[in-house]
A and B are shown apart, each in its own frame.
Chain A
Amino acid sequence: MITTTKPAPRLRALRRTTGRSAPRARRPLRTWVIAIAAYVIAVLFLLPYLEMLVMALRPNSELGLATILPKHWTFSNFTTLWSTGLGGSIGTSLEIAAGATVIVLLVALPAAYCTARRRFRGRGFFLLLVLATQMFQPAAMLVGIQREFTNFGLPPTLSLIIVNAGFNLAFAVWILNAFFSSIPVELEEAAMVDGLGRVGALTRITLPLAAPGIVTALIFTFIAAWNEFLVALTLSLGEGTSQQPLTVAINGYIGEYSVDWGHLFAAGLVATVPVIILFAFIERRVVSGLTAGAVK
């Protein structure tokens, strides 16, 4: 494992007592150079998305002006957004993301718990299978996905729920497996002895302790399904705008001869800002879910 060993608290204490004898008020010059470099880089990462905001607030009449900022600002792109069928798309995206998230949790929780707690024949093979699904991406097997789900004849929303659940299963299994493995079996046994029973021990002890992992898996799956574009485009192409998920509907603003940039970026902000906020909650734990499989 590369991710689990944290800097020991012992070391931090050591640093506090021996290192850095200078008072906090006088930060060394080096710290400020580092800080300023980091601020500049943070702004560079933010700029493209600020440009999206600037474009969404630019009146249509100024789209042809070669200026960095518009002369006038307007909210009209946001207020007229809903008449373009975007409300329905948001609903469709919510359905797909929430549906995929529920399925992933229902499927990954027992699998992760079982592989964390028990050693049985076929366990290694199962984990390898999960890792393989993480390595295969929808883009690599698009032809197969399209033909299979067209033959099923399911509504696109349901197909997209299933496909998104399948491709995000690995992340949830890894992160939940790590959390369950870190909870001592003795804790569960003690709870069972105390009369909670097997189900009680699971729901009152184990699941609450694994809550951070569950929340991470939940948010990660939701965001991935919300942002998914290629399969959504393939399976919902012929649908009306309100039946298409947001990523596909946003591309509807790109016409053959002109692009409705104002609405496009206003819709882009609506699609982007919520997931950035959600992502900030799981920022610290995401890496372990993505890399644990390759490391094990």
Chain B
Amino acid sequence: MTEMLALRRLTPLLWLSPAIALIGVVVLWPVLVMVQSSFQQIGGEGFVAGYNGTTNYTNLFHEPDLVAVLLRTLIWVVGVVGVTMLISLGLAQLFHQRFPGRRVTRWALIIPWAASVMMTALIFKWALDPNVGVINVILNHIGVIKRLGSNQADWLGNPTSALIWMMAVAVFVSLPFTTYALLSGLQGIPGDVYEAASIDGATSWRSYLGVTLPLLRPAILVATLINVINVFNSFPIIWEMTGGGPGYETSTSTIYMIDLKQGDVGQAASLSVFNFLLVIVIVLVYLSTTRWKEQVGR
């Protein structure tokens, strides 16, 4: 009898063990290897010369580019996620309405989500070609380029304009998921709430601020969190459009890490560990400031 009980207690483990093994191999083990590597001297080809204590970390924090890269990462994440959330709130409101052809328009909305981000980045890289890119051809037609001066057409050659364009592409590919997350939040708001508000004489804008937004808060919090993590780790857009250059002038922390990896795997590992801790801290601060448990959980 006791044997039976013990067996019963072990069966869940049997059902879960394949998942635990997979997570172990693909997620937990690489984290350990990464932490170990951050204390080792490893060349670009992967040859391990031995442990070197905290040298990688001290070297990393003495990198002249690091502060600018981290500041840029902050601008990148806050800018992309902020603009994405604002536009998505509008889009969700629009696509929540009933109108003829809504299904078809929603399908168009998912395309940047379904397509590889790498491909979308390459389309925009082409479209921003100084001479023959379609965006510049159109801007030329309507006379914008002439007014700005023809140097301006090389959008990706100038770090500031390149960063703005790349943030725009990052917003573009983040919009579908965010809009859909907010749409599913809107569907969860019962209609009688609005009826009560309209009986009370609330205008549509006031009922949006007073009724919709507060009820949408859980959906907004979840979508923001997932976007922050995705945008921080975003790689294909910057890598394809500028490669993080000139120098490191358009690199975020993720791109900088991948670039370091070409020459010094150990130092890249130390930056990875740093990035990793940064994301965990951001998530924890976010969870506590938004009072996540009360707002999102039951």
B15 and A290 form a contact (CB under 8 A) = no
Contacts of B122 in A (CB 8 A): 250, 264, 268
B20 and A129 form a contact (CB under 8 A) = yes
Report if A271-B27 is in contact (Cβ < 8 Å); known contacts: A137-B233, A291-B223.
no
A7 and B187 form a contact (CB under 8 A) = yes
B residues 218-236 near A (Cβ < 8 Å) are 218-219, 222-223, 225-226, 229-230, 233-236
B15 and A110 form a contact (CB under 8 A) = yes
- Determine if A247 is an interface residue (Cβ-Cβ < 8 Å): yes
A126 and B230 form a contact (CB under 8 A) = no
Count the B residues whose beta carbon is within 8 Å of the partner chain — how many? 99
Complex: A268 Cα to B116 Cα, angstroms: 9
Comparing A41-49, A76-84, A185-193, A203-211, the segment that makes contact with chain B is A41-49
- Determine if B165 is an interface residue (Cβ-Cβ < 8 Å): no
Q: How far is the CB of B283 from chain A (nearest CB, A)?
A: 7
B116 and A229 form a contact (CB under 8 A) = yes
- Determine if A257 is an interface residue (Cβ-Cβ < 8 Å): no
Contacts of B110 in A (CB 8 A): 276, 279-280, 283
Q: How far is the CB of A213 from chain B (nearest CB, A)?
A: 16
- Determine if A1 is an interface residue (Cβ-Cβ < 8 Å): yes
B22 and A103 form a contact (CB under 8 A) = yes
- Determine if A288 is an interface residue (Cβ-Cβ < 8 Å): yes
Complex partner residue of B126 from A6, A55, A126, CB under 8 angstroms: A55
B222 and A46 form a contact (CB under 8 A) = no
Complex: A135 Cα to B283 Cα, angstroms: 9
Complex partner residue of A290 from B97, B100, B112, B177, CB under 8 angstroms: B177
Complex: A244 Cα to B272 Cα, angstroms: 26
A111 and B137 form a contact (CB under 8 A) = no
A290 and B26 form a contact (CB under 8 A) = no
A34 and B297 form a contact (CB under 8 A) = no
- Determine if A108 is an interface residue (Cβ-Cβ < 8 Å): yes
Comparing B29-37, B70-78, B206-214, the segment that makes contact with chain A is B29-37
Complex partner residue of B272 from A32, A68, A144, CB under 8 angstroms: A144
- Determine if A35 is an interface residue (Cβ-Cβ < 8 Å): yes
A110 and B117 form a contact (CB under 8 A) = no
Complex A-B: 20 CB contacts under 8 Å: A1-B298, A3-B184, A8-B190, A11-B192, A38-B94, A111-B19, A114-B15, A126-B19, A129-B23, A133-B23, A143-B34, A143-B272, A144-B34, A145-B30, A147-B34, A166-B27, A268-B123, A272-B119, A279-B110, A295-B218
Chain A interfacial positions (CB closer than 8 Å to B) = 1-8, 11, 14-15, 27, 31-32, 34-35, 37-39, 41-43, 45-46, 48-49, 51-52, 54-55, 63-68, 103, 106-108, 110-111, 113-115, 118, 120-123, 126, 129-130, 132-133, 135-137, 139-148, 150, 162-163, 165-167, 169, 173, 223, 226-227, 229-230, 247, 250-251, 261, 264-265, 268, 271-272, 275-276, 278-280, 283, 286-288, 290-291, 294-296
